[in-house]
Chain A
């Protein structure tokens, strides 16, 4: 049985008239077990592979091999299906005109591998159709408690309008989780990130087709280790208070604020997807009505809930003090993740400005990113930034844009922008 713990890191002391309370809540899960292994839990997995014409024969062959490797990692008993997508979606396995899923066993695994081997490159790209078919396929097994997909694409969503894709993302949000990967450099990071973020998944670049198999295999192994099908973060704030934001800040930055659904007038619920043995950090900010010096109050109650059951809780407090030594101290955890969030934004905004030809803004933003990555000890981000800018001074964030940049390096910087380093505790 999975066990959750929650720890709160904050400076609860507010100065006279202070209203904003910030806290980092670390939620830790142990003993999650394998996906679908708990009583009443059933897991489903769908592999979605781009088979558009741009993939080419070699690309499709590499993708098929990767899908076969992924099939090997799906546990026996887990419901699964394979979708091949171009400008429309087809259920490649189980081959059927109507949506359907089957349980994994030695026969279905072999049959699925054989079906995948018959992939060929043809047609355009309309990812919305793939997502809609995946949702319909998952819906055929109502007993599924955990629904996860991996999606591979190689190009822009050319055969579908952005509005249609947006509507599709909204329609399928909450129906399954989806990790997205782009192969090569012809796809749009922002477009795929929208899908992954809405579907509580990750986005990353796979520069060359021969790296696909290892990545697919890793993603499925991770999905199979998520023994907790679904959990929600609940945030209670007192009457009259305003929840400014709720963000996941580790392992990646993900703003949950807009995903609030109401539990009761004072409590909001935010989906966090499935959990394996892992630790995640959340940044919660609440604005209170200021109270008098010496007063203390609960600013927020942060809980993790599985269904209706609360499995972990942390309390965020506020205490007004006249002691400046207490009120001016900034929690190192809050400072660290505030920096990491700004780092993610600076990278994304810098790259967007660069793509739009706004060199001045790009230089400023990416310079700030270099500065923040150094200050927060995010060496991975620093080394990725180095491939896009020449760093004159790390402390002041003085940089020059490189004349020629590998497209893949720029995309890797973009997709990894939300990855954070943990605060040293």
Chain B
């Protein structure tokens, strides 16, 4: 049995109780019955073991600041409780079989981060193992890090002048960067990137010019130390 509780520093109103129940219901889903205990701001929930274990695990993740592991809906409830606790000097808690899983209060300072994604660009290289798709055209790119599905424009595949299947290509993709999990996802092809070629003449000219520019700097590290600001 899981018990949710709230501690208030003012008189409990019907609205407050409704808000509590609403929040708790969002933690466990609509189909789970939550009963408010008589004369208290406690509610009890009896639910399938898997659901209780999931909730207890998420409480534990939240307590440790591992917010990336928590489903978005449940995390937003925890964050709302955190906000309410700070504003109203309240406390919230979840206990399971008499053991406290989580306590949220204005006296507890956690660095809770909401999951968010940012736009990013990434260059990838790999072998094209598949290309096509009727509804959502894509290419499958495989390399030593894994297999990636990259969305492409249908015209891109139609207008390819050569067959890219089973060939190694380098691509620039737009993607989403999950800031909390620090992973890239949802790749969309921006362009195929040409493999850069070393130009001997340009390298020789650059070394000639560089040797002139860096005259007296035989140890680049020493020079860098002199130009870089202080340490962190």
Q: Specify whether A and B are partners.
A: no
Residues of A within 8 A of B (CB): none
